[in-house]
Amino acid sequence: MLNNSKTLETIMVFKVSIFTFAKNYLLVRDAILNTAAEMFLNYGFKSVTMDDIAEKLGISKKTIYTHYSTKSKLVLATGHHVFENINCGIEKIRAKKQNPIKENFEIKRFVIHHLKDQKTSPHFQLKKYYPKAFESLRTRQFELLDDCVTDNIKRGIETGYYRKNMPIDFISRIHFVGMMGIKDTDVFPIEEYSHSMLMDYFTEYHLRAICTPKGIETLEEILNEK
């Protein structure tokens, strides 16, 4: 009986140890992702090294390599981590089922806040230096934006804010192309165009093209509040 009690105690201690290890492992991984995301967005994917991230976290570079064996893998994981956070936030905004024009502006503000105004053009750094990660994220971005824009347009038509008989699929795709295009720093130099400015211009451009007079009235009200 005594041996059985000791065996059970040993098993419980082992289980607790495993749980604690797993919990700590996930906490460290999340800390790495959050810190890497902040640094990549602020300073660029190319400029930030594994040493920089380790120093910022106060851990050894070896600890980072335990979780991500190469910088490319960390870049990919970080990109998807940021995407998931943005996706989650957008879904919460969409769940409100608010005025479709106001929804556009709320999503725009949320995205700009999370991407820190993209002062270092991470989009094109990712495309140039980490093309596999770029393509992986681009596919997911298209799926999210296509679903979001399509639903928004349909609700806008139903509620009289957007024009009827529009080619919704085409508008959704051209919207995606436009969103990717305004990130091109060769066309829109960072010194002249901040990302938030471009997002403001593009959102208004998109909405003026599809709004009814009722929608334009709401759009003007929102713009005048700024």
Question: Which structural domains are found in the chain, ordered by start?
Answer: 2-225 (1.10.357.10)
Mention every residue, 6+ apart, whose C-beta is less than 8 A from residue 36: 48, 53, 74, 78
- Cβ–Cβ under 8 Å, residues 162 and 211: yes
What is the Cα gyration radius of the chain? 23
- For 162, phi and psi rounded to 5 degrees? -120, 155
Residues 126, 152, 157, 222, CA torsion sign: negative
- For the chain, list residues with pLDDT below 50: 2, 12-22
The whole-model pTM stands at 0.82
pLDDT at res. 90: 96
pLDDT at res. 114: 82
Query: Encoding tokens for residue 89?
Result: 């936030």
- What percent of the chain shows pLDDT beyond 70? 87
| CA–CA separation, 30 and 110 (whole Å) | 21
- Cβ–Cβ under 8 Å, residues 154 and 168: yes
pLDDT digits (tens, 9 = 90+) for 64-95: 999 999 999 999 999 999 999 999 999 999 99
Give the position of tokens 């059970």. Answer: 8
